Structure 1
Amino acid sequence: MKEKLEQILPLIRKPAQYIGNELNSIHKEWSACNLKIAIGYPDLYEVGMSNLGIQILYHILNSQAKILCERFFAPMIDMEKLLIEKDLSLFSLESFRPLKDFDLIGFSVGHELTYTNLVNILHLSKIPIYAKDRGENDPLIFAGGPSVTSNPMPIEDFVDFFLIGDGEEAIREIVNSVQCTVYRKDRLEKLSQIEGVYVPSIGNVAKKRIVKNLDAAPYPTKPIVPFIKTVHDRAVVEIMRGCFRGCKFCSAFCAYKPVRERSPQKVIELAREILKNTGYDELSLISLSSSDYSQIEYVAKTLADELAKQKVNLALPSLRLDSMSVKLMKETQRVRSSSVTVAPEAGTQRLRDLTNKRLSEDEILSGVSAAFSEGISKIKLYFMIGLPTETEEDLQGIVDLSKKIAEVGRHYTSKAHVTSAVSTFIPKPHTSFERERQISIEETIDKQKFLKQYLKGKGLELRWHDAKTSLLEGIFSRGDKNLSSVIVEAWKLGARLDAWSENFNFETWGKAFCNCGIDMEEYMKAKEKNKELAWNKIIM
């Protein structure tokens, strides 16, 4: 396989994503291991290698002597064509073995628009797409990640079992369970008894798995350093899991609750080890809301003092924009950012209160004023349109708030620039708004037109999400197993890598829905209070 791969690498873009052997990648003797597992992300290498979950599971599995874990990702279009032309199977990066040779294949699924990629990977691996068609000689296919934790139903026909919630402890139990059984049916029956595992063929109720002690949870101090630039190209330490805020639209709040913190001592220890073992020039302390980490000031200042001597920058994403956070950024970041972000989500206080977004206009203006006063010239705002009860007054509120912030900025600098990024509200499973209606493409475009007409002027910029991709995300977010036929049909029609705008074709999806006799509109409607929800087997 390796020899054949060497022949086609000169013919494709970014060949380094297919060759493995990166710093800290692990290579084990195939014949010396009792269980072979491949884990991957159903998108390109540059996206998947930024996925922390894959790095964590790779570290945990390879730390066990008789278990081998290797990686895979979706190929680019040019590579896919060559694999088919040369009759080659999709392979792992470490040993170049066909994926079909592994005992288990795991997907970390972070987004609904990667579902056709999952199907495509199975097809390119010469593994039956539907779970019901697999036999004793086929790998067990499992999936986890934010998208399927909320609602695995649209892809349950393709997956043998799902891991719902945190994986650090559950993956060990899954491995032990598989090793103790021989036959496929017995393995799935035993897996269904593990907390956090949902097996579609059995239909068991699965309760989200929660790791209670992050300090005790394994964390990779030798993460793989990619050969090519990735989406998040830096060292990462997760300081906290979960969020205190509880915004009613937020699926991440549901997927990652309750709030758990890593101790400051552990965070600092991990940071030192990771930087020593990787050579990164930037360290990011990540969580859903870093400002809520109880020891953020101590940890940030301690690390900043150390990292300055090594010429390593400290990044603090997800900070709440207030004077304390701005001061902390100023004191700790060697490479000063020229921009900060804030997420009002709605333009009026009424709508922010309705969504439980506990942020007043005075707090927003005070925060951006503090940022501008420290030399920051660019502010990025995140808003949603289509929220429940939204009126034109709320849209006007987005315009007014953006202009007020730009005006504040001009008091400090002539270079003040405010970017308002507007996405469409998508009702997500398990949130307080899970039964709400999602607005149509036409309504989305009308609201975007309103903002384009009025949100303009010196130092103002408006960006918006594509209405069609938002529609699809919403359909699959609250979808049921009937959508598996649509996914396969869209894939047959050429849909893949849909999260990349150059590949996305809404007409392909429209034709797929039509061919399957399924109405998109049905999935966008409000769900009646007493109607059973597709994701009712998942307990968060």
Structure 2
Amino acid sequence: MLSERGADPRRAILASVKRPSRYTGGEWGSGPVKSPDSDLVRVCYAFPDVYEVGMSYLGYQILYGLTKTLPFADAERVYTPWPDMEEALRSSGTKLWALESRRPVSEFDVVGFTLQYELSYTNILTILDLARVPFRSENRKEGDPIVIAGGPGALAPEPMSPFIDAFCVGDGEILVPEVLRAIHELKGRSRDEKIRALSKIEGVYVPLIKPDKPVMRRIAEDLDSVFYNKDMIVPNTGIVHDRIAVQVFKGCTRGCRFCQAGMIDRPVRERSAASVAAQVEELLQKTGWEEVGLLSLATCDWSEMGEILKRFGPMLKNNQIKLSLPSLRVDAFSVNMAAELESIRKGGLTFAPEAGTQRMRNVINKGVSDEDIEAALEATFSHGWERVKLYFMMGLPTEMDEDLAGIHEICNKAVSIAKRHKRRGDVSVSLAGFVPKAHTPFQWEAQLDRHTLRERGRWVKNNIRNRKVSISYHEPEQTYIEGVFARGDARLADAVEEAWKRGERFDGWSEFFNFERWMQVFDDLGIDPDSYACRERSLDEILPWDHIDSGVSKQFLLRERERALSGDVTRDCREGCNACGWQGRTAVKGCSDA
């Protein structure tokens, strides 16, 4: 906590803002700062969103804990200040500080961002500006931190490339130690020498040094042998996901064609039940949390789940702990598994059919049949749950009116099944606009324009005739801006900077997002946003992310696109190799012997 001695201006700042606990640090598990006199690489992990969101992100906790274990580095944290805190810092002339030592962010050797979501990009500039670090790499001087970024956005990096010194493409558990070691070995040398050294590390992209071959995504092949966090920072205030988080595997075998994570996180690598159980037991003892989230893209597919249920069965039955799944597969098996995990029936279950008809689900390779959906709903209400939440998308390639009408049919079926089981049967539907993403089979497709997207959302919402069903849809304007940056190039950096200068912050938050301001920025800069979001790309076009090799080949993506347009389903990778590009390139089981 802040010292009682002296006239520290930060005390007055914290007294003037809401939720000062976002900025004070001192949480259980945050760990002491290593000796300030030691020759360490000091890293400040900067999350481009508010504290409550950043503290819920498992990857952030993993990298923080990993860096703390390195003998040549130390880690601290900072989160995007809420607007009241930003104003207080500016009016007092105080630099943004890290939570652990209260050291100004500008005094760190490295500032590391995670690029999780396109609508967080302006927040990166807020952090840099409040730290008084020049926005653009070309303007930084000796003494300025090296600005590094990772996460999904690093695989389509160009819109942010002028602001980032180096992108880490792939698993941080592998890349972070190598990057920080390289910087440590060059302590006392010039900033330019350090960045050039980073460019020679496989999996690192330095925009100011154009690579002579595609930058290959690095992966951790054996998850039991790499770092996983045995401690977690326990917040002093409520956060979005207030629980222990444990990753059980990386990747996904299902091959949904719209899903960027399912493509760029390949191949699947599982942790053993013994490793996960040991981590859960240790974190339960150290943190005081009683709920554990078992995280992955599809936790119900984890082959070791049965072992975990055996290990923690008695604790579940006695209500000592609760295991939760972030997402359920749409089938009865997953619901039955959830029933074993949920010792107290509260609330409802969440499923993502994604599309209203079998034809549309085949196009996106969802691998869910009408029978699967009905079986999942039967199991849900027969096990005692009272309501369900369903996620769908609109604006998918080849979408027709009957695909949207199919959403109503699924909702009505859910209400009917609930009534038969004498359940309340409330159905909540969340409808999101489809955004084509880089490194997916749909990366060449046009995004639906925002006016048509709004019309379709209104049609689905207004034409449901069942009072048990409530439907909401994501704002098409936010979806549109996300789509602009999802497949953008370096020219969009000017738009990010100009929009930030005009006041854009927290664009993922509807109360702050200003669509008219964004459109005015594009117009003033002579940028056509439709050419990024709503234009179909030719199949031979050089794409802004072609210099990043995700591991999945363009030939596979083209083949999957063709199968999508033909309505053909591709099998799950666990049933046999589909030759996505990873075969023979890794020692991971199922790929090395493909």
Q: Specify the TM-score bucket, using the shorter chain as the normaliser.
A: over 0.9
Question: Which moved further from structure 2: 30-39 or 113-122?
Answer: 30-39
Please state if 1:189 is matched with 2:199.
no
Give, as a single letter, the amino acid of the residue that structure 2 aligns with 1:536.
D
Residue matched to 1:200: 207
Please state if 1:174 is matched with 2:184.
no
CA contact (8 A) 1:98 1:125 kept: yes
Residue matched to 1:144: 150
CA contact (8 A) 2:72 2:184 kept: no
Tell me, in whole angstroms, the C-alpha distance in 1 between the residues paired with 2:508 and 2:39.
36
Give, as a single letter, the amino acid of the residue that structure 2 aligns with 1:32.
S
CA contact (8 A) 2:70 2:177 kept: no
Identity of aligned pairs, percent?
38
Tell me, in whole angstroms, the C-alpha distance in 2 between the residues paired with 1:308 and 1:126.
53
Instruction: State the superposition RMSD in angstroms.
Output: 1.4
- Structure 1 segment 78-227 matched on structure 2, within 5 A: 78-146=84-152, 148-181=153-186, 182-204=189-211, 205-227=214-236
Secondary structure of 2:31's aligned partner: coil
- Structure 1 segment 269-284 matched on structure 2, within 5 A: 269-284=278-293
Tell me, in whole angstroms, the C-alpha distance in 1 between the residues paired with 2:413 and 2:547.
46
Give, as a single letter, the amino acid of the residue that structure 1 aligns with 2:431.
V
Unpaired segments of 5 or more residues in structure 1? Answer: none
Deviation readout 1:188-219 (Å, 9 max, x if unpaired): 22111212111100122311110001101111
Give, as a single letter, the amino acid of the residue that structure 1 aligns with 2:215.
A
Please state if 1:452 is matched with 2:451.
no
Cα displacement (A) at 1:323: 2.5
Give, as a single letter, the amino acid of the residue that structure 1 aligns with 2:298.
S
Residue matched to 2:438: 429
Question: Which moved further from structure 2: 428-437 or 316-325?
Answer: 316-325
CA contact (8 A) 1:338 1:375 kept: no
Secondary structure of 1:110's aligned partner: coil
Deviation readout 1:395-442 (Å, 9 max, x if unpaired): 111122221222122111251111121100100000000000001110
Tell me, in whole angstroms, the C-alpha distance in 1 between the residues paired with 2:51 and 2:313.
31
Give, as a single letter, the amino acid of the residue that structure 1 aligns with 2:192.
K
Deviation readout 1:494-527 (Å, 9 max, x if unpaired): 0001111111111111111112110111112111
Please state if 1:248 is matched with 2:231.
no
Question: Which moved further from structure 2: 414-423 or 229-238?
Answer: 414-423
Please state if 1:491 is matched with 2:500.
yes
- Structure 1 segment 288-303 matched on structure 2, within 5 A: 288-303=297-312
Residue matched to 1:340: 349
Q: Which of 530, 536, 539 pairs up with 2:546?
A: 536
Question: Which moved further from structure 2: 424-433 or 371-380?
Answer: 371-380
Tell me, in whole angstroms, the C-alpha distance in 1 between the residues paired with 2:501 and 2:216.
34
CA contact (8 A) 2:345 2:384 kept: no
Cα displacement (A) at 1:33: 4.0
CA contact (8 A) 2:258 2:436 kept: yes
Secondary structure of 1:71's aligned partner: strand
Cα displacement (A) at 1:365: 0.5
Cα displacement (A) at 1:456: 3.3
Secondary structure of 1:342's aligned partner: strand
Q: Which of 67, 87, 90 pairs up with 2:73?
A: 67
Deviation readout 1:342-392 (Å, 9 max, x if unpaired): 111111111111111100011101111111111111111111111111111
Deviation readout 1:273-320 (Å, 9 max, x if unpaired): 011110002111111111110011221342232355572211122231
Secondary structure of 2:173's aligned partner: coil
Tell me, in whole angstroms, the C-alpha distance in 1 between the residues paired with 2:479 and 2:424.
33
Tell me, in whole angstroms, the C-alpha distance in 2 between the residues paired with 1:310 and 1:424.
39
Deviation readout 1:139-171 (Å, 9 max, x if unpaired): 10000112x133111000000000111010211
Tell me, in whole angstroms, the C-alpha distance in 2 between the residues paired with 1:46 and 1:300.
30
Give, as a single letter, the amino acid of the residue that structure 2 aligns with 1:152.
P
CA contact (8 A) 1:33 1:68 kept: no
Residues 33 and 312 (structure 1 numbering): CA distance in 2 closer, same or farther, change over 3 Å? farther
CA contact (8 A) 1:39 1:105 kept: yes
Give, as a single letter, the amino acid of the residue that structure 1 aligns with 2:122.
T
Secondary structure of 2:540's aligned partner: coil
Give, as a single letter, the amino acid of the residue that structure 1 aligns with 2:43.
I
Cα displacement (A) at 1:38: 0.5
CA contact (8 A) 1:304 1:333 kept: no
Tell me, in whole angstroms, the C-alpha distance in 1 between the residues paired with 2:337 and 2:29.
33
Question: Which moved further from structure 2: 321-330 or 507-516?
Answer: 321-330
Tell me, in whole angstroms, the C-alpha distance in 2 between the residues paired with 1:378 and 1:316.
17
Question: Which moved further from structure 2: 400-409 or 125-134?
Answer: 400-409
Residue matched to 2:58: 52
Secondary structure of 1:23's aligned partner: coil
Please state if 1:35 is matched with 2:44.
no
Secondary structure of 1:156's aligned partner: helix
Tell me, in whole angstroms, the C-alpha distance in 2 between the residues paired with 1:19 and 1:365.
49
Residues 33 and 62 (structure 1 numbering): CA distance in 2 closer, same or farther, change over 3 Å? farther
Secondary structure of 2:37's aligned partner: helix
Question: Which moved further from structure 2: 185-194 or 282-291?
Answer: 185-194
Please state if 1:413 is matched with 2:422.
yes
CA contact (8 A) 2:167 2:205 kept: yes
Tell me, in whole angstroms, the C-alpha distance in 2 between the residues paired with 1:356 and 1:322.
16
Tell me, in whole angstroms, the C-alpha distance in 1 between the residues paired with 2:520 and 2:337.
52
Give, as a single letter, the amino acid of the residue that structure 1 aligns with 2:297.
L
Residues 7 and 308 (structure 1 numbering): CA distance in 2 closer, same or farther, change over 3 Å? farther
Tell me, in whole angstroms, the C-alpha distance in 2 between the residues paired with 1:335 and 1:162.
44
Give, as a single letter, the amino acid of the residue that structure 1 aligns with 2:230.
T
Residues 73 and 423 (structure 1 numbering): CA distance in 2 closer, same or farther, change over 3 Å? same
Residue matched to 1:361: 370
Tell me, in whole angstroms, the C-alpha distance in 2 between the residues paired with 1:10 and 1:304.
46
Secondary structure of 1:359's aligned partner: coil
Question: Which moved further from structure 2: 507-516 or 329-338?
Answer: 329-338
Tell me, in whole angstroms, the C-alpha distance in 2 between the residues paired with 1:220 and 1:453.
47
Please state if 1:466 is matched with 2:472.
no
CA contact (8 A) 2:404 2:460 kept: yes
Instruction: Give the TM-score normalised by the residue count of structure 2.
Output: 0.89
Please state if 1:16 is matched with 2:21.
yes
CA contact (8 A) 1:142 1:161 kept: yes
Tell me, in whole angstroms, the C-alpha distance in 2 between the residues paired with 1:493 and 1:289.
40
Secondary structure of 1:168's aligned partner: helix
